[in-house]
Chain A
Amino acid sequence: MNHALRRISLVALLMFIVLLLGVNYVQAFEPSRLATQLGNGRTFSQQYQYQRGSIITADNQTMAESRPVKGIYKYQRFYPDPAVYAPVTGYDSLYSATGIERTEDKFLSGSDPQLTVHNLIDLVTGKPKKGATVQLTINSAAQSAAYDALKETGLPSGAVAIDPRTGAILALASYPSFNPNRYATFSSAQLKRIDNRYRSDPRQPLLNRAINQSFPPGSTFKVVTSSTAFSKPGGKYTPSTPVFAPTNLKLPGTSRQLINFDNLPCGNGRVPIDYAFTVSCNTAFGNLGMQLGDNAIRQQAEKFGMNDPNLKIPLQVSESRYPPIPGNDPALTAYSAIGQYNDQVTPLQEAMFSAAIANKGTLMTPYLVQKVTAPDLTSLVNASPTTLSQAVSPTVAGQMSQMMINVVAKDYGTAHASVTSLTHIPVAAKTGTAQNGANNTGLDDAVFTCFAPANNPQIAVGVIVKGGGLGADASAPIAVKILQAYLNAQAKQ
C-alpha cells in the first residue's frame, strides 16, 4: 500500500502546485487586467482609501482637500469655497473629474511616476499613502472679488486676471457657478441626479465662461487694430496720425453704413488715432481696418494668442477666433476691425490683450499651476514662466499703453467716469460694448480689458458680462474690484 500512498502523495503535491500556480496567475499576472473589468468596485473606491492631495491658492488658502470620513471610503473631497473656485478646481467624483482635479490627477492621486519612490518609502515606513499638494497661481483675494462682482451682475459672465510679467493667472471666475461638493458624494444615484440637474440647467453652471465661452470682443478689439497699424513698417501710423472718422462710414459693396455708438459724430471727422481710440470711434477704426487689410489684422490677432486651439493652462482653453474674411471683403474687414464680425474672444483672451501691452509687448504663457509638493515636502514641479509670443514691439507697446491710459485718464475717455470714481490707482484700459443677436437686437455684451498700475503693471484683467450693456458700466467696475483686491492684498504682504 505504501507504493500507492507515495503516488497519492505525488498527486496531492501536484494539486498544491496547481493551486500555487493558480494564485500566482491571479495575483501576479492578472491584477492589471482584473482592475479594469466590469463591476470592480475596488478600483475606483481605492482612490478614497488614502488622502488625495490638496489644491491651494498662491496665498495658501485651501481650494480643495480630502477630509477623513466614516464609512466604506476613508476620505471625501471637500471644497471650502465651492462656487468661487469651481471653474478652477473642477470636481472630483466617483467616475470622473474636471478642472485641475482632472489635469493634475496624477499628482493629487499620487500615481505620478515621480511619486513612486515616495509611495514605496511610505509603504515601508507604514505611513499612509498621500497625494501631492498642488499650489496654483490663484490669489484668493482677487478670485473672491472676481466671483462676488460677477455674481452681483446676476448675468452670465467671466473674468480673468493675469500677472502680465509672468503669465500667472491670479483669478479665473465664472458665473453662474456650481457646487463641486455635490459631486463629491459617494452615492452614485445622488451623483447621477446632481449631474443631470446641472447639465439640464439652462443657466449652464458647469460652463467655464472664463476660458470656455467666447463672445464678440467689440471695441476692445481696437487694441489689436491699433497694434497692427503701429506695427506697420516705416512708421506710417503713430497715435497722432490723423484718420478719417465720419459720422457714417459708407462701406464698399453694400448699402450698409458703419456708425459710431449712438450715432454720434467723431470729433470733426478727421482725428488722430489716439483720440479715436480714447472715445472709441467705430468709423475711424473701420476705415483703418480697411486700409490695413484682413491679413495684417489676423496676423496681429494671432500674435496676441488668438486662433490657437491648443492653449492649455493646463485646463483646455477654447479658441479665441479671428477667422479669415470671405473674399477679403473690405466691408466685413471694417466690421472685424471693431470686433463686430466673426471675431470671438474669451475673457482670458481679453486679459491677454492687456497683459501683452503691459509687459512691453511680450505675451507670457498663461498658467495656473505654480508648484507641486510631495507629502514629504520635496518639490515635484515648480513653474517657470515662458513667453507665448512677442505680440508687439516695446515701442508699439508704449504707444498702446499711453492710449489705454488715456481711455481712463482723459475726461473724454470711455472708461474715465466709471474707473476714476472707484479708484485712484492709475489704470490703462479699453472698453467694449458688443452688439449681438439678429440685426443687433440682443442685449449688448459688456467687455473690458485693462492693466494696473499703469506705470508699473502688476495685473491685467479681462471681463465679459453677457447682456451687461456698456463695457464701461457693467464690466469696468468688476475689473476695478479685482485689481483693487489684488493690489491691496499684495500691499499688505
Chain B
Amino acid sequence: MLVFAVAVVLFAYASVGLSMTGRIPAGIAGYGLAFAVLMLLAHLAIRWLAPWADPLMLPLAALLNGLGIVMIYRLQQSGRDGNAGRLISTMSTSTTLLQVVWSTVGVAAFIAVLALVREPRTLQRYTYTFGAVGLLLLAIPALLPASLSEVNGAKVWISIGGFSVQPGEFAKLALAVFFAGYLVAKRDVLSLAGRRVLGIDLPRARDLGPVLIAWVASLLILIFETDIGQSALFFGMFLVMLYIATQRTSWLLIGGALFLSGAFVASKLFAHVGERVTIWLHPFDPQNVYHSSYQLVQGLYGMGFGGVLGTGLGNGQPYWTPLVQSDFIITAFGEELGLTGLMAILLIYGLIVQRGLRAAVAVRDPFSKLLAGGLAFVLALQVFVIVGGVTQLIPLTGITTPFLSQGGSSLVASWMLIALLMRISDTARRPAPQPIQEEGMTQVVRAG
C-alpha cells in the first residue's frame, strides 16, 4: 500500500513536469528518493513501535502529504523558470523544499509520538498539564502584539524572525488529550439527567459549567484571533467528546445552539465575522467579486474550470486564486484533478476518519476511546470546514487542509494526530498478553 502511495505521488510529480515543461522534472530522483526513504522510515518505525496498528493509515497519510508537496511544487513553478502561468508572489523558490523539510519534521514527530507514548493511557496522567499547555498555546497569539502574531489578518501565529508557527494546531492535540482525561473523570456527573423536555433529558443546570467555559473560550478565540475556523474546530471537538462520554444528545443540542447563537451575535457585532457571512451569501455580487469575495470566487471558478475530469496537473490556472497554496489548495486539486480527483481526496480523508473511529470503537479503555473519537472527528470537522468553506457550502473560514496545505505546523500536527490514532489502534488490535505457559512452569518444576 505504501509503495503504491509513493508511486502515485511520483507519477503526479512527473506529470506536473511533463505538462509544464514537457520534461520529467530534474529533481524527481532526489525528491522521490527522499520521500520514499521518509515513508520507509515511518513504516519501519511502525513495524517496531506499533506493529498491530491499522495498516491503512500510514499509506493514506503518505499519499495526502505527497500530493500536497506535488501541488505546492506545481504552484511554486507557475510562471517560474519559463513555465506557463503567473508567478504566485506569496511563494518562493524554496517553498517546496521547505515543505519537504516540514514533512521530515512531521514524520520525525510521528515516530517520536509513537516512541514516547507506548500506552495511550499514560497520557491520562497529564490531563491537566495538557489542558494548561493547550490553553496557553491558544492564548499566546491573542496576547502577543499583532506584529508577532498576525499573518493575512488572522492572529493565530507566533512569528519570530521570519519563522512562524501556528500554535493552535498543536493546541488542538493537547486539548483533545485534556478533554479526554477530564471527561473520563467527570462523565458520570455530566450524564446525570435533569428535567426531561420534549423527550430529551436535559443535564442539570449546575453541570453546564464546563460546556459554558468551552463555549466562552471558543468565542474568545473567535473574537481575539479573528479565527472562526479554529473556534468551530475546538468547540466541535469538545461537544462531540462530551457526547461520546455522556451519550447525552442534549449536550450536542445545547452546544450547537450555543455556538450558532454565539456566531450569529458575533457576526452582527464584529465586522470581520459579518463579512464572512456576506461573502458566503453574495459571493458574485459585483461589489464583492473583486474585493472581499475575490478569493472564494476565484476558487470556485477554478473548480468549475476543472470540471469533472480536471485540466491535468500543471495545465490549469490555479494562480488566479490568492493563497491557493494554503487555505485554497483544495480548489487547485479540484481544478487540475477535477471532480474525480477531489472526490478521491475526500474519500482518503473519509477513510482515515473511519479508521480512527474504528480504533475508538475497538479500544477498551475509555480514555483512549474518547481521545481517538475526538481526534478522528476533529479531522473530519477540519476537512468539512475548509472544503465546505471553499465550495460555498458554509461560510468560509481560513483553516488549513490537513496534510495538503503549505505550512509546517499543520503538517507536523497532522502527523502527530495520525501517530496518536495509530497508537490507539495498535493498543486496540494488540492480542491480549499470553498467560505464562503451563509448559514453562512444569519445566521449572522439573528443573527443581
Report A's interface with B, CB cutoff 8 A: 1-9, 11-13, 15-16, 18-20, 22-28, 30-31, 33-35, 37-43, 45-46, 49, 70-74
Contact = CB atoms under 8 A, between A and B. Distances in A.
Contact of B290 (A26, A39, A70, A71): A39
A186 to B, nearest CB: 11
A46 B343 CA distance: 24
Nearest to A31: B304
Contact of A42 (B305, B366, B388): B305
Interface stretch (B100-108, B334-342, B405-413): B334-342
Interface stretch (B34-42, B68-76, B77-85): B77-85
A9 B315 contact: no
B186 to A, nearest CB: 14
Contact of B244 (A4, A20, A74): A4
A262 B356 CA distance: 104
Interface string B237-259: 00010011101000000000000
B377 A12 contact: yes
Interface in B38-62: none
B243 A4 contact: yes
Among B84, B289, B290, max chain A CB count under 10 A is at B84
A25 to B, nearest CB: 8
A9 to B, nearest CB: 5
A31 B361 CA distance: 41
Given A39-B290, A41-B320, A34 B243 contact: no
A22 B387 contact: yes
Interface of B: 79, 82, 84-86, 240, 243-245, 247, 284, 286, 289-290, 294, 297-298, 300-308, 315, 317, 319-320, 334, 338-339, 342-343, 346-347, 349-350, 353-354, 357, 360-361, 366, 369-370, 373, 376-377, 380-381, 383-384, 387-388, 391-393
B244 A19 contact: no
29 contacts: A1-B247, A1-B369, A1-B370, A5-B361, A7-B243, A8-B243, A8-B377, A12-B357, A12-B380, A16-B353, A16-B380, A18-B384, A22-B387, A23-B334, A24-B339, A26-B391, A27-B303, A27-B308, A27-B334, A27-B342, A31-B304, A38-B284, A39-B289, A42-B302, A42-B317, A45-B317, A49-B315, A71-B79, A72-B79
Given A22-B391, A24-B339, A5 B346 contact: no
Given A37-B297, A38-B284, A22 B388 contact: yes
Nearest to B320: A41
Given A34-B304, A39-B289, A1 B391 contact: no
Nearest to A2: B361
A34 B380 CA distance: 28
A14 to B, nearest CB: 10
A16 B339 contact: no
Given A2-B361, A72-B86, A74-B84, A42 B301 contact: yes
Contacts of A45: 317
Contacts of B376: 12
A69 to B, nearest CB: 9
Q: Which 5 A-B pairs have the closest CB atoms?
A: A34-B304, A27-B339, A31-B304, A12-B380, A22-B391
A42 B342 contact: no
Contacts of A30: 300, 304
A255 B303 CA distance: 77
A227 to B, nearest CB: 58
B354 A12 contact: yes
A23 B346 contact: yes
Contacts of A20: 343, 346
A4 B245 CA distance: 8
Given A22-B392, A31-B304, A39-B297, 10 more contacts: A8-B240, A8-B377, A11-B240, A13-B354, A26-B303, A34-B301, A34-B305, A37-B284, A37-B301, A72-B86
A19 B388 contact: yes
A6 B373 CA distance: 10
B244 A27 contact: no
Contacts of A28: 307-308, 339
Interface of A is mostly: helix
Given A19-B346, A39-B294, A5 B369 contact: yes
B365 to A, nearest CB: 11
Among A4, A9, A35, max chain B CB count under 10 A is at A4
Nearest to B379: A12
Contacts of B320: 41-42
B391 A9 contact: no
B69 to A, nearest CB: 22
Contact of A19 (B286, B308, B366, B387): B387
Contacts of B82: 70
A23 B338 CA distance: 10
A12 B357 CA distance: 10
B350 A72 contact: no
A5 B79 contact: no
B300 to A, nearest CB: 6
A228 B384 CA distance: 81
A148 to B, nearest CB: 39
A31 B369 CA distance: 43
A3 B247 contact: yes
Given A19-B384, A23-B387, A73-B84, A8 B373 contact: yes
A28 to B, nearest CB: 6
A27 B338 contact: yes
A42 to B, nearest CB: 5
Given A5-B373, A26-B334, A38 B346 contact: no
